[in-house]
Amino acid sequence: MSNVSAGFRLVRAGWVLVREGVVAALPGEELSGLPKFGWRMARLFTRRRALAYERSDRLAKAVVRLGPSYVKLGQFLATRPDVVGNDMALDLAMLQDKMHTFPKAEAIAAIEASLGRKVGDLYAQFGDPVAAASIAQVHAADAMHDGVATKVAVKVIRPGVRRRFFQDLESYFLAARLQEKYIPSSRRLRPVEVTQTLAQTTRIEMDLRLEAAALSELGESTRHDPGFRVPSVDWERTGRDVLTMEWVDGVKMNDIAGLVAAGHDLKTIATNLIQSFLRHTLRDGFFHADMHPGNLFVEANGTIVAVDLGIAGRLGKKERRFLAEILYGFITRDYLRVAEVHFEAGYVPRQHNVAAFAQAIRAIGEPIHGQPAETISMAKLLTLLFEVTELFDMATRPELILLQKTMVVVEGVARTLDPAFNMWKTAEPVVGDWISGNLGPRGMMMDARDGAKALLTLARQVPELAARTDRLSREIDLMAEHGLRFDETTAHAIGKAEARYSRSGRWALWVIAVTLVYIAWKMI
């Protein structure tokens, strides 16, 4: 029955997208056959007033009707332009995570259940909500520290939001399975795997202890950085459903008039923002992955304070070297080196030709060098680069796509502050410093040290590896002699899973068909 209810929720979501004109806004003229017929029918059922809105506005109205889980779905898909396309990803990135507040009494009940203490014992004063998003809302409060009342921000999970999210996730998984089964061309995008990533991301974001840990980690890595910080965490008043942190007094970065009125230098803020982001990415391999202007405050002294660290990105040392060498290669027009980095990192399969790949990279880089530096977008460069790599069978790298999405947002914020912003000139000190420290003699010594540690670890594991190899050899001999066999339990489980998969697909198709007939009958 869960598949039936998931099917109904899926049909309802599709109907809302049709009525709000989201489907009609897609480039349907390029379609043919049944998909084009469906697109034309969607245009007929679109609300007339919806046709006056831009596609991004239609998306915003649709997800508000569908609820908080669809806001998160949209924001997640904004990080996957490889799945939804660059234009749609940009529209989804503009979704505002603003929802109606829930009653203060429900927030108090959630806090007391999570921390096991009365709100009066935790806070000297607990105020009304000041902001609300899809997963949680924020209250202003006063907490006592050493007998002194300190203003804090208290983030509280929405009641029932986990149950609602997991119900909608069933619909997403059903849609992904049907897509993989009936649209073979979509299988390379791995829709079920994408949905699993969404589910994991959502679970992490709904445990506020993990967000607190991310704030703590980023706070430690940036404590000596000029002009950037994150709020400190009050661990005594933080649990699974509640996060208490330092209250931030500042001007939101999307309030340009407010920044000017406060006397801030917008060009300096833009430079500080980009250099801070690149520093976190290259130096630490850990960055705030939701740096839209609503999550960024500027304090009176010009320091940028980033809040809402529910989504964070990580890059390993190999990925950081990959990014730095690509950027430096484009700056110096060394396209062969850029191509070689892709092959060395294992991102492009070895059957392709390095010189041919370098030629494709040159097609991206040369037009850029004919433009003024302030008009060149680093985010657009990475977008074009990923488009080219698809031609050479480069597998999707979620960590690089999240980096690309964040860079698009951060660069957009910087250009809002300074329309003549020169991304390359601003990035060069950070990128150059990282390259000199990690790819020069000092970097080689660090690599040698890491290599020695890896060899020592491997040497310690030699006895265990030898025993495993011996067991594997014996099992292969038995397999060669008797063939590969499943035990009865495994065979039964495979048959049961296959039957369930086929049955869920049939149920979903019947539900969709009956619902569409009902909608058509009501319209007539």
Backbone phi and psi for residue 142, each to the nearest 5 degrees, phi listed first? -120, 130
Paired sense of beta strands 228-229 and 304-306, if any: parallel
- The answer to whether the beta carbons of residues 1 and 506 sit under 8 Å apart is no
Question: Which one-letter amino acid corresponds to residue 439?
Answer: L
In the three-class reduction of DSSP (H, G, I as helix; E, B as strand; rest coil), residue 158 is classed as coil
All CATH 3.30.200.20 domain ranges in the chain, comma separated: 98-163+206-247
Question: Which one-letter amino acid corresponds to residue 244?
Answer: T
Whose tokens are 């690309």? That residue is 404
* Residues labelled as active-site residues: 290
The CATH class, in words, for 98-163+206-247 is alpha beta
Paired sense of beta strands 296-298 and 304-306, if any: antiparallel
Paired sense of beta strands 242-246 and 148-157, if any: antiparallel
- 176: nearest Cα among 86, 268, 80, 99: 80
Q: Output the tens digit of pLDDT for each of the chain's 524 residues.
A: 466 777 778 788 888 888 887 777 776 666 677 767 777 887 788 887 776 777 667 777 777 778 777 777 777 676 666 556 666 666 666 665 567 889 999 999 999 999 999 999 999 999 999 988 878 899 999 998 877 889 999 999 999 888 888 888 888 888 888 877 777 766 666 778 777 877 777 788 889 999 999 999 999 999 999 899 999 999 999 999 999 999 999 999 989 999 999 999 999 999 999 999 999 998 899 999 888 888 899 999 999 999 988 888 888 887 888 777 777 777 778 888 888 887 887 777 778 888 988 888 888 778 776 666 566 666 667 667 666 666 777 666 666 667 777 887 888 888 889 988 887 778 878 877 887 777 655 555 555 566 566 667 767 777 777 777 777 777 777 666 666 565 566 656 666 655 555 555 555 555 555 554 454 455 44
Residue 205 has a CB neighbour count (10 Å cut-off) of 23
- The answer to whether the beta carbons of residues 96 and 59 sit under 8 Å apart is no
In the three-class reduction of DSSP (H, G, I as helix; E, B as strand; rest coil), residue 256 is classed as helix
User: What are the tokens at 133?
Assistant: 């998003």
